Amino acid sequence: MKKLIVANWKCNPATLRQAQELFRATIKAVPKSKNVKVVVCPPSVYLSGFRFSAKGGSAFGGQVSGLKLGAQDVFWEDTGAYTGAVGPRMLKSVGVTYVVMGHSERREQFGDTNESVRKKVAAALKGGLCVIVCVGEKTREADASEYALYVKKEVEEALRGISKAALKNVVVAYEPLWAIGSDEADTPESTLEMALYIRKIIAGMFGNVVAQSFPVLYGGSVNIGNARAFLRDGGVDGLLVGRASLDSKAFGKIVEEANGL
């Protein structure tokens, strides 16, 4: 399976010009690779500025790339009286192929719940997008079963009601909240446990066969120094990269690490 490396730019950068510069630099820094799929998720307002090629890659300023475009969130209706919302068809129409949902920052700051994430997952899949569902515990309590159950509930509720066939367009990103935007990444050993656990939850919902190859990503303070260890020893199929993706050279190096495995 190809590794999946996702850049989450969050609410950055501040202007279209800067976003175009970062996108151009990212295209340049990311090595062409058959082993790695790279998705860049800028703020939605910039997405249509990154024209996409007929092959499904994105392009900017004459540079065609294999980078895929992703959004950081989506609403569950395509159109209607939902001020401020962006629907799945809108994203699709500007060349988006992936959408992140349930990111902890959306859950904490914008009121996303397991139920709203479930509606977004269903709508995005129906709209032909691939979804990256973020899950992760807030803290590691003394009782390990507590945070494991928290993650289980997030996975089960987000994916409730979707078909086995649709599951091929779903990725789960394990992002412990305490590791996001901090200097404290998880360890590959504990990520491995969580990746196996998430696949066990998937097995319980959809069966062992699909669970075995179900893609799980790790996210939380990924950088050049730890990316390789997560990919090699963390049992994950890729990475969700926040801050480090704003530095095109660092992001390119992370993709290089994935390419070399």
- CA distances to 16, 135, 161, 166, 232 from 155, in Å: 35, 7, 12, 15, 24
In the residue annotation, 103 being an active-site residue is answered as yes
**Closer Cβ to ligand PEP, 77 or 187, answer by number:** 187
- Asked if 112 is part of the footprint of ligand PEP (rule: CB under 6 A), the reply reads no
**Closer Cβ to ligand PEP, 129 or 185, answer by number:** 185
In angstroms, the first-to-last Cα distance of the chain is 12
Active-site hit among 105, 137, 154, 175 = 175
Instruction: Kindly calculate the radius of gyration of the chain based on its CA atoms and give it in whole angstroms.
Output: 17
Nearest one of 18, 1, 47 to 210, comparing CA atoms: 1
- Asked if 180 is part of the footprint of ligand PEP (rule: CB under 6 A), the reply reads yes
Binding residues for ligand PEP, rule CB under 6 A, total 15
- Asked if 243 is part of the footprint of ligand PEP (rule: CB under 6 A), the reply reads yes
CA–CA dist 149, 48 (Å, integer):
39
- Asked if 24 is part of the footprint of ligand PEP (rule: CB under 6 A), the reply reads no
- Asked if 226 is part of the footprint of ligand PEP (rule: CB under 6 A), the reply reads no
Please name the residues in contact with 12: beta carbons below 8 A apart, sequence gap of 6 or more: 43, 246
Q: Quick one: tokens of 116?
A: 């709203």
Q: Interacting stretch for ligand PEP, rule CB under 6 A, among 114-122, 135-143, 189-197, 241-249? A: 241-249
- Asked if 2 is part of the footprint of ligand PEP (rule: CB under 6 A), the reply reads no
If residue 105 lies in a helix (H) or strand (E), which one and from where to where?
A: helix 104-109
Applying CB under 6 A, among 242, 250, 253, 256 the residue interacting with ligand PEP is 242
CB 155 within 8 A of CB 202: yes
Q: Interacting stretch for ligand PEP, rule CB under 6 A, among 35-43, 151-159, 187-195, 213-221? A: 213-221
CB 259 within 8 A of CB 35: yes
- Asked if 222 is part of the footprint of ligand PEP (rule: CB under 6 A), the reply reads yes
**Closer Cβ to ligand PEP, 232 or 243, answer by number:** 243
Residues of this chain that bind ligand PEP (CB under 6 A): 8, 10, 103, 175, 180-181, 219-222, 240-244
Q: Which residues are catalytic?
A: 103, 175
